[in-house]
Structure 1
Amino acid sequence: MTVHPSLQTSIDAWTHSIEAISELVTPLVESDWNRATECPGWSVRDIVSHIIGIECEMLGDPRPIHTLPRDLYHVTDEFSRYIEVQVDVRRCHTSPEMTAELEYTLIRRARQLRNETRDPQTPIRWPLGSSTEQTLERALKVRAFDVWVHEQDLRRALGAPGNLDSAGAQLTRDFLLRALPKVVANDAGAPPGSAVVFDVHGPLEFMRTVRVDAEGKGTIDGSVSLGPTVTLVLDWETYLRLACGRVRPDAVRDQLKIEGDRPLAEAILREFAVTP
């Protein structure tokens, strides 16, 4: 049993999402595994391969020895090349092979997490091609975030919506909101004294205000701003797709409502994607 309650929220969110993915893909016919997703160059099979691969690395399994083809247009840097190895090595796998490996990986990881007794601040090597370390607490939170976001990628590709208000959704909301002050103040260059309101509706509703102080530093809170510089109104799924780089603002223009300083709003939307 996990001894540190601070890890349990991430473990619960991860468990719910990865079990949902398993239930989602187990009955798929072979052709469904080849459906395109909003992740450039990736099919349903590729997303599931990515999840299996990273969870195997979290288990300490050796990485596959595999040479990537040279014609993968979406592989543009060392990070994407590192990620792609676990994906490309499984592109020839059949649907029964995919579901069996996913189920086996899920069982092994769930057992590992149930037996986790390390302190949340224990430094661990992050598997994504980096020699840097991060805390166990941070690593588990990132895994829960990544798995839930990919669950939603699969649901959109397969036309099977759901879990937009799950534990993984709430963890992802908080994960993405932490990036907003930098997006508004630094990346979009909102001037000192600005207040930008994000009014999000749908299965997960929230309102947040990013304020830029006299030194140009951004902060975020849940209070209502009177006379904000910009107000962006959008639904939760559109917020998610924009923040995770699944779509560009022009593709969801009819699902966005902008009030106030439009040039600043457009600058914020251009910088909105915060995931690699």
Structure 2
Amino acid sequence: MTVHPSLQPAIDAWTHSIEAINELVKPLAEGDWNRPTECPGWSVRDVVSHVIGVESEMLGEPRPIHTLPRDLFHVTDEFSRYVEVQVDVRRCHTALEMTSELELTIIRRSRQLRNETRSPRTPVRWPLGAGPERTLEHQLTMRAFDVWVHEQDLRRALGAPGNLDAPGALVARDVLLAALPKVVAKDAGAPPGSAVVVDVHGPVEFLRTVRIDADGRGTLDSSVSLGPAVTLAMDWETYLRLACGRVRPEGVAGRVSAEGDPRLAEAILRAFAVTP
């Protein structure tokens, strides 16, 4: 048996992004590992530590037994506490230790993924703390999404832009768009019968309309809406940073164009972040 065809795009996207991360950090001097990223409280080292830690858990490695310091301001709930253990335990690691562990993890995970023969619908444990089982396809899609987003975190921190149209970018587009109807309808409270258009340009381009039905539920389509309540236009990287909570709306005000109801537009942008 071979890898199921519906799993291969996520595996290919994951491979492209994690190998790009490896190439980015391999030549870094010790001091560069301490550069801050847009992930609150995390340096370049911390982002790479997170990637290593999650992939290690996907390999079935036991979690480190480690007590977190009490002064980590960005650790605010059980999820962030769970994630932080794999990060904090590596904060004293040298550049050589980090790159060596990353390379070994990539080799082992790539071998595991090449030998994946399960059905896409196989229920699997989610690696990041407690929660319901997910399908294998969903799990691999979310790993491709997470690794590409963190590749972009590292690129911005290191001043090395690129891969905004990589396979992982298309995975990220679909993941983030799936969350958009809830953002508009429930979180921002767009009124029944209204429509909100999001127009994104750049390396990844798309135009989507969220339509709110009579019961206040949102649906997403790619048709043009006449007379939408709000139209938001921005470039792809800005969409990514907003939707992943890397920046607040006021931080990218000059890169977002909003037309229509200003209060609804503000509410949507305030609720735009959909990742933990």
Q: Decide: shared fold, TM above 0.5.
A: yes
Q: What pairs up with 1:117-196 in 2 under 5 angstroms?
A: 117-196=117-196
- Give the RMSD, CA atoms, in angstroms: 0.8
Cα separation, 1, equivalents of 2:71 and 2:188:
34
2:188 partner letter: A
- Report the alpha carbon displacement of residue 227 of structure 1 after superposing the two structures with TM: 1.2
Do 2:3 and 2:114's aligned partners in 1 also have CA atoms closer than 8 Å?
A: no
Q: Deviations over 1:155-192 (max 9, x none)?
A: 00000000000100001001000001111011100001
* Pairing 1:241–2:241 present: yes
Counterpart CA distance in 2 for 1:67 and 1:186 is 37
Q: Quote how far apart the aligned CAs of 1:131 are.
A: 4.7
Distance 1:169 1:149 in 2: 8
Identical columns (%): 78
- Aligned partners of 1:122 and 1:137: how far apart in 2? 8
Structure 1 gaps of 5+ residues are: none
The Cα shift of 1:2 comes to 3.6
Are the counterparts in 1 of residues 64 and 85 from structure 2 also a CA contact under 8 Å? yes
In 2, the alpha carbon distance for the partners of 1:31 and 1:106 equals 24
Give the deviation of 1:193 after TM superposition.
Answer: 1.1
Pair 1:71-2:108 in alignment: no
Once the two structures are superposed, residues 108-163 of structure 1 have per-residue CA deviations (whole angstroms, 9 ceiling, x without a partner) of 00000000001111111111111521111110001000000000000000000000
Is the Cα contact below 8 Å between 1:2 and 1:113 reproduced in 2? no
The letter for the 1-side match of 2:157 is: A
- Match of residue 232 from structure 1: 232
**Alignment partner of 1:258: what SS?**
strand
What is the deviation of 1:59? 0.2
CA distance in 2, matches of 1:152, 1:162: 8
How far residue 26 of structure 1 moved from its aligned partner, in angstroms, is 0.1
Aligned to 1:265: 265
Secondary structure in 2 aligned to 1:23? Answer: helix
Matched residues in 2 for 1:271 and 1:220: separation?
A: 17
SS in structure 1 of the partner of residue 117 of structure 2: coil
Alignment partner of 2:127: what SS?
coil
Aligned-partner Cα distance in 2 for 1:28–1:198: 38
Partner AA of 2:161 in structure 1: P
